[in-house]
Amino acid sequence: MRTLLACLASLAPIVCSAQDLPTVNTSVQADLADSLARDLREVYIFEDKAEAMARMLKDGAASGAWADHSDPHLFVEALTRDLRGICEDLHLRVGVQPLPLDDEPRGPMGPDPLEQARQSNFGFQKLERLEGNVGYLELSGFSGFPEAGEVAVASMNWLAGCDALIIDLRQNGGGSPSMIQLLCSYLFEGPRHLNSFYIRQSDTTQQFWTQNRVQGRRLTDQPVYVLTSSRTFSAAEEFSYNLKHMERATLVGETTGGGAHPVTGYFYDFEHWRFTLSMPYGRAINPVTGTNWEGVGVIPQVECPSTDALQVAHRKALEDLLAAGDGEDRDGIQWALDGLRAQSDPLEISRKTAKELEGDYGPRHITRRKGELYYQRDERPEFRLVGIAEDLLALEGMDTFRLRVERDEEGRITALVGLYSNGNRDRSPRDR
């Protein structure tokens, strides 16, 4: 039996968990190969590739190519590998699930998708305001459930007061173009053509545009930075690709996975198994480039290891805000930028300076141990000192306080000045 599952931008792999499934005989293999070949010919986006895959399936079943793969897991892995050997399409996948052993109706199996989406907050993993009034959104998926819209609207309205925006897609494997459409609508003023999908079976093209209206404020003036990795895939790549080529965002991180085709899902029931097929049925056509990222991925403007992407993007956002003269609190932006620089590229404190700094300054004390400087105020916690600039020190793990070294005309250290992120300061003369 063949049943259409759903038309999605991305379909997650289906993993078989049962350990006691009966083996797959060559008769089942041949029947499944025949069904797969038929559907590929009808639906797969590239007709020549579909025909080649169909012939491979027919020939493979006839020759017993998978006779040694009686385990259902090994069988679907071999099918997927052989099909991708022809089409090189990472969205195409064959999977398997065990069917119930009783006479209960065989509807969709497994956990309820909507409940799973709710438990993951529809992919909206983290909202944060970073130093310098930079907004941060970590998004693990682009949910197509209508209920996800409420979370998206609330998130974008929460971010509207930030001076810049970082969207983290490093762990995002894709999802629905409708969520891309909604989020992008907050980033542009007026309707903008985002992407199109050509559907081979119907010979039609579906366009996606930003919405004319959004709930709350748009973020049209804030610079946007999108974090990517090699795991960024499918709809997450579309979001990145669209914003890059519309010159609305700077991508920071690694080249993405390279899957541009929208996907439809089928399942095929036999006596003991439900085989599944995740099959691309269309191709993306970007209105700016006229092509897409299939097989090549999306290349970021700022390339760096994905593990460093957040720090790199945060630093660039602050530098760009200062260069543009944006942001009401330039001192706050500079404070945050100095802190980031101290983390990523601390200034080495020379032995001579460290020796000069060691001592007591009223309630403030600097000690030297194993070549490192430590700061403590009376009985409060101790912090390692990190150099930011000449005679400017940060406390490791403390973002709201720094020390400026005060010297006399002959260069001798006379005091420590405590600098606070709110603009306050206090001076502690060196004890004689």
pLDDT for 168-216, tens place per residue?
999 999 999 999 999 999 999 989 999 999 999 999 999 999 999 999 9
Q: Is residue 341 part of a domain?
A: no
Domain for residue 272, yes or no? no
Tokens of 382: 């101790």
* Torsion angle (degrees, nearest 10) of CA 13, 19, 25, 29: 0
425 and 385 in one domain?
A: yes
State whether 93 and 139 are in the same domain: no
**How many domains does the chain divide into?**
3
366 belongs to a structural domain? yes
Same domain, 307 and 197: yes
Same domain, 139 and 285: yes
Please give the pLDDT value at position 16: 40
For residue 217, what pLDDT is reported?
Answer: 95
Do 254 and 388 fall within a single domain? no
**151 in the same domain as 72:** no
- Out of 73, 98, 123, pick the residue that ends a domain: 98
Q: Cβ neighbours of residue 196 under 8 Å, at least 6 residues apart?
A: 205, 206, 207, 208, 284, 285, 286, 287
**pLDDT value for 85:** 97
Instruction: Give yes or no for a contact between 320 and 353, defined as CB atoms under 8 angstroms apart.
Output: no
Q: What is the pLDDT of residue 190?
A: 86
Is position 420 within any domain?
Answer: yes
- The residue from 32, 63, 98 where one domain ends is 98
Domain's final residue, options 74, 98, 122 = 98
160 found inside a domain = yes
Q: State the pLDDT at residue 107.
A: 52
Q: Is residue 176 domain-resident?
A: yes
User: Does 149 lie in the same domain as 94?
Assistant: no
pTM score: 0.86
Q: Is residue 338 part of a domain?
A: no
Give the CA-trace dihedral at 106, 111, 112, 116, to 10 degrees.
Answer: -160
Residues of the chain below pLDDT 70: 1-21, 101-110, 326-328, 432
Same-domain status, 366 and 294: no
The pLDDT score that the predictor gives to residue 330 is 84
- Same-domain status, 408 and 367: yes
Specify the CATH number for the domain of residue 422: 2.40.128
Q: Where in the sequence is the domain holding 390, given as residue range(s)?
A: 347-429
Query: What per-residue confidence (pLDDT) applies to 109?
Result: 57
207 and 284 assigned to the same domain: yes
Residue 106 located in a structural domain? no
What Å distances lie between residue 389 and 43, 254, 349, 394, CA to CA? 62, 31, 10, 9
* Same-domain pairing of 290 and 151: yes
Do 160 and 240 share a structural domain? yes
